[in-house]
Amino acid sequence: MEHIELISLTIFAGIFSQILAYKLRLPAIVPLLVIGVALGQSHILDPHALGAGLHTIVQLGVAIILFEGGLSLKVRQFKEAPLIIRNLVSVGVLITWLLSAGAAYLFIPALHDASGFKIALLFGALITVSGPTVIMPLLKIVKPVKKIASVLKWEGILIDPIGALLAVVLLTFINTSTSAYDSIVRAFLTSLSIGLVFGGTAALMLNRLLQTDDLIPEEMRNLLVLTTVFVVFAVSNWIQTETGILSVTVAGFALGILGPRGLKEIESFKGQLTTLMVSILFILLAARLDLAAIWNLQESGLLVLLSVLFIIRPLNVFVSGYKSRLSLREKIFLSWMAPRGIVAAAVASLFAEILAKTPEFAHQASLIESLTFLIIGGTVFFQGATARFVGKLLKVIEPDPNGVVIIGANLPARYMAKSLKGLGIDVMLLDSNSSLIAKAKKENIPAEVANAISQETIDEFEIAGFGKLLALTPNEKINILACQLWAHEFGKNNVFRVGVHEEEYRPSEHTKLSGEGRLVFPARVTQEWLQYHLGSSWDVHTKELKTKGEVQTIQRSVSDEEIYPLALIHNSKFAFYMAGMDLAEGRTLLYLKKTGGKKNTRKREQTKEEALADTCDEPIQE
């Protein structure tokens, strides 16, 4: 197979795997690993045909991945994280690193010498990472309680760059430790200094360039960052071998701290590029994987895997969670959720190639890759496949999440949020208008400034505890698009929207677009109508329907348009009201009712002014 055909097949297989993972709600590593191994074992894809080009692709790919990892590590996030998360990514990293290294050294006979001990230390550092690309899809499938989901999410986000940085620094030390004993420290400090100086200087230079108005065209900013990453990586390696990976990691971390203008766009671009590189790398690495070498680890490899699963991870969680508010069952479940991912695989393969060129480590270098892939496969497939079962057994799975995400923070959205909150239902308002979000927070409504139709917002949103979405902006297109985008998270039967105008086109079941959101509330109750009438001539009420007589009275009031139903609650289950929905005893009804007389004249005037402000200062989210 020609190089161009091989690369084209690799890219296609990688992107297809990513799409398959998205559709099946699986960690991307699962289809990437399965398809990559299948292509390699069937000899359809032979990465070795690339020759030295494979090493170049791996190097540049890892450079992008580590730069993006450094960029995503925010000091503020670490400081704001709860104690257990800070412990997991500090003390916990040390526990995982040292004990995993000890297990590899103890159980793998080929590592029973001085060089083997260094290999074991490097292996221990590599498997400290988990990563959001593995954890986030699992959380959506397993749906643990909010407290656990939050810990796992932030551990994955923070530990990826920390673990990678630890591994890079350790590789630098191991590579220089092959020198004479009296020069080890000097050589290590030289390599470390080159990485820190080049990375820091590159970040300062980029920050200055990006902060200078009209110097770099908008469309060239991302490409400038990418070019700088490659140049820093190459020049660092040219000055001293294998210092480039440390330089780019430091550059990403420093640039994230400096926070130049347009950092969000840079992070988004690098995130997309990282997804592409991860797809290419993992297909190639999985295709060239030596399954026989993994199999030959036999009982020794199995003992390392079991140690990681049943001793090291639980010890990590229980030490890190000491004096935390987590229950015993929650700690046990956290102990069972630590799948390793793509960063560990890519970096392990690169390190194996680097060390294979060093005479001292040449005969043991391949063990790093074999052991790392064994841990990845064991944790992803074993823990991932059993996580929901274990969660149910421990009773830490969210029982059909009832919370509601409301898109929009205008007056009707805030009224709806307060009403639902009063019934004990979790709510969260999302809006790109900071003034509306400020109003919501003053009214003690959970709210965040966010672009609800941005995939980045959807990916980062902590969905645990929320099971429905209501789009309630004054823009019909935004409402439909929000429902379509969030339908993947909640399911198309759990995304709803309120009509904007009474004459709005209402498609039939046959003509409406997939996931465009189910229209709720009576036809007259539109966003426009709510904006004008809520709090002035109409107010929100609740009523528990205890008898058939009460139900019949309410039904007559609905027919006469004296009241408008909004939602029904039954046995803690919540449902928005839709045309034709039955009212029955034993349910609590949330509804709109007309207020009496001139009682609210002044309030109505204020509300109309507020309505105008709410409508005028709400931008179309783009």
What would the pLDDT profile of 420-471 be if each residue is shown by its tens digit? Answer: 888 888 899 999 999 999 999 999 999 999 898 887 788 777 777 788 999 9
Minimum mean pLDDT range among 122-126, 178-182, 186-190, 229-233: 178-182
Q: With beta carbons less than 8 A apart as the criterion, state whether 591 and 564 touch.
A: yes
Tell me: do 545 and 606 sit in the same domain. Answer: yes
Exposure letters 8-34 (e unless 16+ CB within 10 A, then b): ebbeebbeebbebbeeeebbbbbbbbe
- Of the segments 304-308, 365-369, 420-424, 585-589, which one has the largest average pLDDT value? 304-308
Tell me: do 53 and 88 sit in the same domain. Answer: yes
Percent of all residues in the chain with a pLDDT value above 70, rounded to a whole number: 89
Residue 112 lies in a domain: yes
Tell me: do 78 and 143 sit in the same domain. Answer: yes
Neighbours of 510 (CB within 10 A): 5
Q: What is the pLDDT, as a whole number, of residue 612?
A: 45
Measured between alpha carbons, how far is 114 from 107 in angstroms, rounded to an integer?
Answer: 15
Tell me: do 199 and 339 sit in the same domain. Answer: yes
| DSSP-assigned letters across all residues of 397-413 | B-SS--EEEEE--SHHH
Tell me which of 348, 363, 394 is where a domain ends. Answer: 394
- Identity at 13, one-letter amino acid code: A
Q: With beta carbons less than 8 A apart as the criterion, state whether 334 and 394 touch.
A: no
Q: What is the pLDDT, as a whole number, of residue 398?
A: 77
Tell me: do 350 and 458 sit in the same domain. Answer: no
Point out which residues pair with 427 in neighbouring strands: 404
Residue 537 tokens, joined? 């001539």
Residue 622 lies in a domain: no
Measured between alpha carbons, how far is 115 from 138 in angstroms, rounded to an integer?
Answer: 37
What would the pLDDT profile of 362-405 be if each residue is shown by its tens digit? Answer: 888 889 989 998 998 888 888 888 888 899 999 988 777 788 99
Q: What is the pLDDT, as a whole number, of residue 73?
A: 62
pLDDT at 295 over 50: yes
Phi, psi of 429 (to 5 degrees): -95, 135
Tell me: do 25 and 173 sit in the same domain. Answer: yes
Q: With beta carbons less than 8 A apart as the criterion, state whether 251 and 301 touch.
A: no
Tell me: do 324 and 455 sit in the same domain. Answer: no
Q: Is the dihedral of CA 251, 119, 285, 51 positive or negative?
A: positive
Tell me: do 350 and 437 sit in the same domain. Answer: no
State which residues form the domain around 107. Answer: 3-394
Measured between alpha carbons, how far is 375 from 345 in angstroms, rounded to an integer?
Answer: 10
Residue 490 tokens, joined? 């909640």
- The arithmetic mean of pLDDT across residues 200-210, rounded, is 90
Q: With beta carbons less than 8 A apart as the criterion, state whether 620 and 573 touch.
A: no
Residue 180 tokens, joined? 């004479």
What would the pLDDT profile of 143-187 be if each residue is shown by its tens digit? Answer: 888 788 878 877 877 787 677 778 877 887 787 665 554 555 676
Residue 111 tokens, joined? 């590592």
Measured between alpha carbons, how far is 337 from 342 in angstroms, rounded to an integer?
Answer: 16
Tell me which of 394, 421, 441 is where a domain ends. Answer: 394
- CB-based burial label for 426 (10 Å; 0-12, 13-18, 19+): middle
Measured between alpha carbons, how far is 281 from 275 in angstroms, rounded to an integer?
Answer: 10
Minimum mean pLDDT range among 205-209, 228-232, 557-561: 557-561
Q: What is the pLDDT, as a whole number, of residue 171?
A: 83
Minimum mean pLDDT range among 208-212, 220-224, 600-604: 600-604
Residue 33 lies in a domain: yes
Residues 6+ apart with CB under 8 A from 413: 406, 407, 429, 431, 440, 472, 473
Q: With beta carbons less than 8 A apart as the criterion, state whether 127 and 359 touch.
A: no
Tell me: do 353 and 447 sit in the same domain. Answer: no
Tell me: do 30 and 82 sit in the same domain. Answer: yes
pLDDT at 558 over 90: no
State the CATH number of the domain containing residue 612: 3.40.50.720
Residue 335 lies in a domain: yes
Q: Closest Cα partner for 462 from 405, 414, 504, 521?
A: 405
Whole-number Cα distances in Å, 581 to 14, 36, 496, 553, 558: 46, 50, 15, 16, 12
Tell me: do 349 and 438 sit in the same domain. Answer: no
Instruction: Supply angle C-alpha 47, 175, 53, rounded to 5.
Output: 20
Tell me: do 101 and 168 sit in the same domain. Answer: yes
Tell me which of 360, 394, 428 is where a domain ends. Answer: 394
- The arithmetic mean of pLDDT across residues 76-95, rounded, is 78
State the CATH number of the domain containing residue 168: 1.20.1530.20
Quick one: pLDDT band at residue 511, thresholds 50, 70, 90? very low
Residue 554 lies in a domain: yes
Measured between alpha carbons, how far is 610 from 228 in angstroms, rounded to an integer?
Answer: 49
When divided into structural domains, the chain yields a total of 2
Instruction: Supply angle C-alpha 154, 17, 23, rounded to 5.
Output: 70
Q: With beta carbons less than 8 A apart as the criterion, state whether 547 and 586 touch.
A: no
* Beta strands 587-594; 538-545: pairing state: antiparallel
pTM score, whole prediction: 0.69
Residue 621 lies in a domain: no
Quick one: pLDDT band at residue 13, thresholds 50, 70, 90? very high
